[in-house]
Amino acid sequence: MQERSEPFLDTDRLTVRLVSTEDIFLFKLIAGRDDDIEDMNMLVQASLDYGIVRDELEAQIERLSDDQFATFANETLVELEERYGVTTPIEARVRELTNRYYRGIEVLQALNDSMTVDELAAELELDTDEVHDRLAYLLTFDRIHRDGDTVRPVE
C-alpha cells in the first residue's frame, strides 16, 4: 500500500501521502458500511486495477493470518451488484476465498475435541480427500492441531 501512495506534503516533521484508489476501494470493500457501497460505485468508474485490489486482499489475509474478512468483501460485492448492477473481475476470487472460509468453519463446527479424519469425513458426509483439503486450509491459519490422522481445534 505504501508503495502505491503518492506524496502530497513533505515537511521537516510531517509527510502526507495520498492513498491509491485501489486501496481506498479495498478499505471500503472490507469496512462494510452502508455509505461505502455508493463510494465504491463511484470508484469503479475510475478504472481501477483489480489485480492490485485482489493481490492486496490476499496479502492482507496472509499477513493477518485471518481470511474471515473475505466474507465481508463478498457481502459488499453482492450488495454493489444488487444496488448498482456493478460487477468486478475480483468477484470470483473473493467468492472462492469466502467458500474456502465457510468450508473450513464447517469442519471446525463438526470437530469435537479430538477426532480422526475418518470420523470427520463420516460426520460431514464428505470423502477423506475433501476433509484433508479442508484440514490443510485450517492448518494454514493455525485453527487446528494435527497429530497424524487425529485433529483437534486450537483452543
- 84 is a domain residue: yes
For 68-78, what is each residue's pLDDT tens digit? 889 999 999 99
Considering the domain architecture, whether residues 78 and 148 belong to the same structural domain is answered as no
Confidence class for position 36, pLDDT limits 50, 70, 90: very high
pLDDT in tens, 97-140: 999 999 999 999 999 889 999 999 999 999 999 999 999 999 99
Grid cell digits, residue 17:
501521502
Residues 118, 81 share a domain: no
Determine, yes or no, domain membership for 102: no
Range of the domain at 28: 2-91
* Sign of the torsion angle spanned by Cα atoms 15, 19, 23, 25: positive
Percent of all residues in the chain with a pLDDT value above 90, rounded to a whole number? 79
pTM of this prediction?
Answer: 0.84
Number of domains in the chain: 2
Phi/psi of residue 127, nearest 5 degrees:
-75, 160
